[in-house]
Amino acid sequence: MGPPSSSGFYVSRTVALLLAALAVALLLALLILAGLYGHCPRAGQVEPCSSGVPDAAPSPPPGAEEREPTPQSSPAPEPKVPTPSHDQRPPGPWDQLRLPPWLEPLHYDLELWPRLRPDALPAHRLRFTGRANITVRCVAATARLLLHSLFLRHELPAVRGPLSPGARDAAAGRVPVDDVWFAEDTQYMVLELGEALRARWPLRAAAQVRGPGVRGGQEGLFLNVYTDQGERRALIASHMEPTFARNVFPCFDEPALKATFNITIIHHPSYVALSNMPQLGQYDRTDINGSNWTVTTFYTTPPMPTYLVALAVCDYDQVNRTERGKEIRIWARKDAIANGNADFALNITGPIFSFLEDLFNISYPLPKTDIIALPVFDNRAMENWGLLMFDESLLLLQPSDHLTDKKTLISYIVSHEIGHQWFGNLVTMNWWNNIWLNEGFASYFEFGVINYFNPKLPRNEIFFSNFLHGALSEDHALVSRAVSMKVENFTETSEINELFDSFTYNKGASMARMLFSFLNEHLFISALKSYLEAFSYSNAEQDDLWRHFQMAIDDQSKILLPATVKSIMDSWTHQGGFPVITLNVSSGVLKQEPFYLGKVENQTLLTHNGTWIIPILWMKNGTTQSLVWLNKSSKVFPEMQVSDSDNDWVILNLNMTGYYRVNYDKLGWKKLNQQLEKNPKVIPVIHRLQLIDDAFSLSKNNYIEIETALDLTKYLAEEDEIIVWHAVLANLITRDLVSDVNYDMYPLLKKYLLKRLKSIWNIYATIIRENVAALQDDYLALISLEKLFATACGFDLEDCLQLSRELFSKWMNHPKEEIPYPIKNVILCYGIALGSDKEWDFLLDVYTNTTEEEERIQLAYAMSCSKDPWILNRYMDYAITGSPFTFNETNVIEAVAASEVGRYIAKDFLISNWQGVSKRYGPQSLVTLIYIIGRTVSTDLQVMELQQFFSNMLEEHQRISVHAKLQTIKNENLKSKKQSARIAEWLRKNI
């Protein structure tokens, strides 16, 4: 094992034994040797599954395992132990989501044996066996033991103890186990004992299990089948967060119940086994069939929750480097390693670790870090201590990625997972209601780390794009949840999984950033250092974090707060939604109110009674002002008043560090608009972006008039920042505004925007033509260019159409000359729309010879951009007949129907082909097509005509739901027409 950490502690095997001997009077040892366990069969599977089997002897010695079933044989059915139903069993602790506080785990000895063999690769499922020995401390006397166990089959455990100091298993007495049963809805295994366990009794128990378990799903142990070096291969990996460890071994599966782990993996000799800690040793093992296996053991982990237990069994290569004496290895397919695809991630990982070690003055406590790139990992990435797992698309950099945002994306995700080594792994939230302490701070520091290494990145604009915009777009007072929820709000395990959403990540990161904004860097970091040191290898509540921030505040006198840190931050984390603050610049009155979707329409539903303690950083006439606080519903700030001077204006929420939107009275908006038209560069980029985003959101939800938001766009001919343009186009070029529902507005909007668009267009069209490589480090351009090009070509800007022809033709003639990735979707679409069957057939041929799913989807949608009816009809015919190609990734009929031309062609195609469409894509696809084709309905007559058209295609229950949905679409379109009429009137006055 590696050297002990300079901070914290590491328990070696020898030290652990000495400590156990000294503290034996405090320990309760519960040894569960599980034999024959695995997932119960799902629907459609025929393999028997039992809740438990009779008591068994201790596990056999190596080489004496029972004979493996041959491929032609099936395991014999196992006797079942009845599981009481929820109605039959008596009320008890098994009815609660949380474990009773009777036992505290201290150590697991875990052995797993997945039967993965290179000469017999499974298609979907693989059997595994294993043992789990759990050492626990008894806190309260009990005659019942509860452990988490889901889809596992167990033999009846035999409990032994109490142990005497230094005694081995055999020296302990036997505690009778009268019954084992399972509370499946709460995922417990319940052991009914023949005598009560007393507090501080040290005990042990033994049993053995076995069964099928590794499947294609990604909960617990899972299987990836992939191709490498032209061969079909497979690997096994684990994902235990949040509550999937119980799918693999019986355990105390809650984050506060930390323990150390000794992990052993039995695997085929041709594979490598990885786990949280470095390899301790290996030896050979032969089963009864004469097959050879390798047993790999690993060093003891630090105390950690079950959700961080990790293992992988794979046939991978690796690249490595040493950072501050600790090895970092990145494992991936042999092809990927040979091609250098892992080199970028390897080169950034060590410096990120070093940066965070220096920032917190806490060394990374493990002696090594393995990072594995999985062919398919639906969870994107996972921070397991010592064995981080990534979907390979988020870790490996391909040569073709130089003009994508992939390099920046990999940097952010690697930084996020490394940040978890402190926030989550070293210090873990006490329970899942505070998961934002893990994810929010890891998200915040991913942003901080990358900006440290790339100081030229526009940090405020990137935070807005990556975190803040998404959070504000989804959050509002009526339906949002609090970032930190009450424990008693949770009644089902599924509710824990639902916490991994944008509120936890994006809003959580925004909370951390706002906290930073009203302190300073020294206070912020010193408080986090104190928090991490105090709770290392332990667990914390949100209040623990606030207490350490308060300690930092109390130790200085420069920064004064209007309330305690807890009071301030609780007002944000314990209630959903966010405030809109409105400044009257004439009187200086500032007020707050909850943000609602459709404020006027929902007046009768306004039930949000809370207020926030709001930090307000602001600027006046371009100069930063002192921080003020709005800690009640309204307050007067005379310093925020403006005069009649043309140069007098105020912007609140400096750098958008506060989690709220800002509104002004008519004079306040007028002053800002005047300054934009006079000299927009006086207002920083982040605030030009803020003004557009806030104004359009507020107008959409009836806080201000749409004309107020539109006034802010008059200056756009002078706007050369693409991220600001992206915000403008995202709000104006929407399907509900730019469609033939609003045919009278479209030409006006086209004329208005093209007049202002040409400047920003010329900048990037020149770069594309002359030096496209200059885009590779321009993150904001990489994420914004597609919208800009789609708008320019959609408005028939001749230079955009010509550039599309040039790039598509160049690619056709020289396929190695790739279309620049940021605009590839647009170029492919307009290359087809402006071309003939020659271009379409070329794209079909490319599609045929492409195996990468993402590219096939891109090509399939591009082929639907044709404006020739006969090409689109042929395309749809190909799709439903499967000839010549299947188009499995895309519903081609839906793709065709999505365009203005294709909508009518798809409708006509359905008259004679609806049965083929239903057979190919399923009956529900017809319902979806109705919604796509009917997206412009605005009268009852149109609704009726569409229903009659589709009536013979639908079942009765579908007709009812379709009628309701079409009525909703009609009402939304009528509302959109009213809005577009006002926009059209404004455009007429301002073109």
CA distance 338 to 784: 33
- Prior bond of 579 cis (ω within 30°): no
Collect all residues with Cβ–Cβ distance below 8 Å to 943 and sequence separation of at least 6. Answer: 934, 937, 963, 966, 967, 970
Q: Report phi then psi at 51, rounded to 5.
A: -80, -25
Distance, in Å, from the CA atom of 477 to the CA atom of 265, rounded to the nearest integer, reads: 49
Intra-chain end-to-end CA distance of the chain, in Å? 72
CA 737 to chain centre: 31
The rounded radius of gyration (Å) of the Cα atoms in the chain is 31
The torsion angles phi and psi of 350, rounded to 5 degrees, stand at: -60, -50
Contact 748, 728 (CB under 8 A): no
Distance separating alpha carbons of residues 537 and 9, to the nearest angstrom:
9
Annotated binding site for Zn(2+): 416, 420, 439
Q: Is the dihedral of CA 144, 147, 148, 151 positive or negative?
A: negative
Q: ω before 162 within 30° of 0 (cis)?
A: yes
Catalytic residue among 417, 541, 719, 894: 417
The DSSP element (H or E) to which 874 belongs, if any, is helix 869-881
Residues 6+ positions from 657 with CB-CB distance below 8 Å = 513, 514, 516, 517, 615, 617
User: Left (φ > 0), alpha (ψ -120 to 50) or beta: where does 220 sit?
Assistant: left
Work out the burial of residue 625: count CB atoms within 10 Å of its CB; fewer than 13 is exposed, 13-18 middle, 19 or more buried: middle
Three-state DSSP class for 917? helix
CB 460 within 8 A of CB 655: yes
Query: Is 417 among the catalytic positions?
Result: yes
Contact 181, 222 (CB under 8 A): no
**Which DSSP letter does residue 505 get?**
I
According to DSSP, residue 199 is labeled T
Structure tokens at 546: 């606030």
Phi/psi-derived region of residue 500, left when phi > 0, alpha when psi is between -120 and 50, beta in every other case: beta
**Among the residues of 427-581, which ranges form H helices?**
436-453, 459-463, 469-474, 494-497, 502, 508-518, 521-534, 542-554, 565-573
SS3 category, 765: helix
813 near 805, Cβ under 8 Å? no
Number of residues in the chain? 991
Q: Which residues are annotated as a binding site?
A: 416, 420, 439
Please state, in angstroms and rounded to a whole number, the distance separating the CA atoms of residues 264 and 285.
13
Contacts of 50 (CB under 8 A, 6+ apart): 78, 79, 80, 81, 153
H/E run at residue 692: helix 685-700
| SS3 label, residue 623 | strand
DSSP symbols for 267-289? E-TTSEEEESS-EEEEEEEE-TT
> Among 670, 514, 504, which Cα is nearest to 586's?
670
Look at the alpha carbons of 734, 738, 740, 744 in this order and tell me if their dihedral is positive or negative.
Answer: positive
β-pairing verdict for 326-332 and 368-374? parallel
Peptide bond into 367 cis (omega under 30): no
The helix or strand, by DSSP H or E, that contains position 860, with its residue range, turns out to be helix 853-863
Tokens encoding 271: 């594979």
Catalytic positions: 417
